[in-house]
Structure 1
Amino acid sequence: MSHRLPRVLSGLDLPLAELTAARIDGEVYAVDECFSPLDEFEATPHRALALLASFPRRLIAEQHTAAWVLGAQPAPPVVHQFCVSIETRTRPTIAMRISVREVVIDDDDLLDVGGLPVTTPLRTAVDLARCAVDFGERDLRLAAELMRIGGFGVDDCAELLNRRRNLPDKRVALERLVAAASLQRGDPSLR
């Protein structure tokens, strides 16, 4: 009888020293703070499982963390971004690699990825465009990639932004998303 390793391994499965040695030996590769056997191709479920092993289950992956889980961003962010519904009673999480904010969020703004709630590509792009203090080239390309992955455009973004009456930075977000859509369509003036 052969024993199959889990798709994602954490310190709960094996001691960290053993996992690190297996990584050095080329038997596993890192998936954020966890590891995956080499015969597993890293995909959305692996990234979600790594987060589930490292962070509380009540949190919703958003912004750069959601972009990483969805495959739009190649590496995990240094500080993971999560949110919780404003209706959820929660205490602030104090940790080095995590930020959590309370938001108004609808069920149709969420995906379930292996048990991890993740904002949809549309909600992720809109949140990035609305919340980023410095929306540079990297975020512009990330929003364009989320548009490609999610198959949505500027009209969908505007509809989501207009669902909430007093949502700050709607105009700025829409301008950023128009630029991302132009990049996603291959507008040569934005290359």
Structure 2
Amino acid sequence: MNILHIDSAITGEASVSRKLTADIVAKLKAANPDTAVTYRDLNKGVPAIDTDWFTAVRTTPENPTPEQQAIVATSDAYLAEVQAADVLVIGLPIYNFTLTAQLKNWLDQIARAGKSFRYTAEGPEGLLKGKRAIIGYAAAGTPIGSEFDHASGYLRFMLGFLGITDVEFVAADRLAMDRDAGLARAQEALEKLAA
């Protein structure tokens, strides 16, 4: 089994989502000792897509410049990690009711027509099928699935759009109100998680 482990929290060692993803990966590895893990810390920076990205990646110039080649290589590397993974373990810390900018940038980098999805006569089709995603959701005050949660539904939708429909959440939410209870809910979800 190949795991792609993604973190994006800005809070370093204090991050609950980083602890959740580490615990999820540890549980999966304990049940599958031959598991290979690729780790990507998005907090180190993920380029936002812009006009240069669009020109390099989407219009595929006939004679790309070295800068355009580098832009394509970066986007290809993110996508190759996802394509090689059987399981994605993604940390989803909630800032201002939604996902981190870094995680959004990563999703933008991997959402590539003809590579991770395609348009058909019946509508879009995800090309990253057969993968599982386990999300470590952490929020100080945003209950998962609430009207204020603009992250979990969006991430589930985007993964589904790309063909990843087996999506589970391990949530430590409402930590600012009752940290112990939020962590206990996450631990309970982790224990129920099939490895």
TM-score (normalizing by structure 2): 0.29
Structure with max Cα Rg: 1
TM-score (normalizing by structure 1): 0.29
Highest RCO, 1 vs 2 (Cα 8 Å, sep ≥ 6): 2
Structure whose residues are more often strand by fraction: 2
